[in-house]
Amino acid sequence: MDGLRAWRVYLLGGVLAMGVFVLLPDAIWRDALYALIGFSSVVAALVAGARLRGATGRIWALMGLGQFAAVLGDTLWLYYKHIALTDPFPSPADVLYLMEYPLVTAALLLLVRYRRSPADREAVLDGAIFVVGLALPYWVLLISPSIGGHDSAFGQVISLGYPLADVVLLAGLVRVLTASGVRAPAFHLLTSALVLLLLADVVFISTESGEILGLPLGDLPFLLSYLAWGAAALHPSAGDLLHAEPAAVPSFTTRRLVTLTAVVLLAPGTLAVQLLFGFELSAWAVTITSALLFILVVARMSGLLRRMQAQARRLDEIARTDMLTGLPNRRTLDAQIVREYEVSARTGGPLSLAMVDLDRFKLFNDTYGHQAGDRLLTGAATAWSLVLASDDMLARYGGEEFVLLMPGRGLDAAEHLLSALRLVTPERQTFSAGLALWDGRESPLELLHRADVALYDAKQNGRDRVARAAPAQVPGSRPESSASA
């Protein structure tokens, strides 16, 4: 039988067995059927552990051992109830039941270790908020009433052990649910089994006997947990538990926000209920929980703030950068020209600007394809950038056009630099350039226009050359020929 059918047959058979369990009278056969259903999940988990290799196999083996401890506890309890005719508490059966929790939690932590990503810090904080918030009701309703309720130290340890074990298991479950990774069907079945186990513990402790309306309905969550565990182990996706997704920052969804808000409000809500109905106040428990939640929420908010700041920096970088070449874009160029104007006006140094255009780029694109054209643009940008000084700025202006801003260089020095760029242009390609020197008065648009007109002249006169722009026709402007080279 293939895995796709096996888990369905197992689940269907288990549900039918549960129906028989509910209808059977309270006798040894009913409890034996209960233990048998639990044992089936042990076999399924151990088979998965043997079938799968590496960490996945070890995880299923640990879970199988945890389930085996619980089933041994069921079997021993069956012996006490139907053969020894006694109901001891505490007993070795309780020790076996409690052994399940550290084994399963160890498997969950191993699962998280392989599924987590570098972006999981926020998930850890969310999980910690959830666990700390829910630990308060556990303390008030289950743990605190158990303190001092037994004469023997062993009985006291066992009584406290069950709710504390649930809190530990809850922490492991929440950590798994908040970790990254692929959520295959086996993952959902496994987490459902854990949720059912925690629910079963709460129902059993609340009803003491596990019976509701005279029927063993309190046992059903335990049985459903066993079946979900076995189905997860038999599902074909049981080996996909460790498959990680690409590292990504978890989104702070509305559902997550509402859940965390509700959990944080459990502390004041618990105190409000106690005040309203006159229950004994759990002042210290509420105080400690509130303090921990406050610290965790502040840490979570600081993480969100850092993420927003990083996103703002990234958006600013995207807004200023050409995505193909990585060079500054036109927006950045315009701002830089204004800044260089101020420096040049203050120091009196020259400021040259060149408009550079790759020759016959459209023909290159049509001949070799657009991907080759993109490679030429990025290759030219990289090669030219390696030649430039730190004060120079090379920006992509649009298409195959670039603008080179050269503070501190006159026309001769600027043309010499352009000659150096020509030597490193990739793919044996050439470029034409129009070169202009700022006259100290014209606007950035006027300077760019003069360089563009000179570029047109270079194209018209045979390409693969640098053409100097005519002096700006502005009264009082300094002549270009007088600029320092």
Q: Which residues are catalytic?
A: 400
Q: What CA–CA distance (Å, rounded) separates 333 from 401?
A: 13
Distance CA 397, CA 334 (A): 10
Rounded-to-integer distance, Cα 172 and Cα 193, Å: 13
Q: In angstroms, rounded to a whole number, what is the distance separating the alpha carbons of residues 123 and 162?
A: 27
Is-contact 134 263, C-beta < 8 A?
yes
Rg, C-alpha atoms of the chain = 37
Distance CA 327, CA 321 (A): 6
- Under 8 Å between Cβ of 412 and 445: no
Report the alpha-carbon distance of residue 340 to residue 325 in Å, rounded: 23
Cα separation, 184 vs 182, whole angstroms:
6
Structure tokens belonging to residue 249:
């920052």
Tokens describing residue 342: 């101020």
Phi, psi of 284 (to 5 degrees): -65, -40
> What are the DSSP E strand ranges found in 328-380?
351-358
Closest alpha carbon to 174 in 234, 232, 111, 119: 111
Q: Is 469 helix (H, G, I), strand (E, B) or coil?
A: coil
Residues 198 and 166: beta-carbon distance below 8 Å: yes
Distance CA 472, CA 450 (A): 8
Measured CA to CA, the distance from residue 94 to residue 263 in angstroms comes to: 31
Which two three-digit tokens encode residue 36?
């048998």
How many CB atoms within 10 Å of residue 202?
Answer: 17
Asked if 77 and 43 touch (Cβ cutoff 8 Å), the reply is no
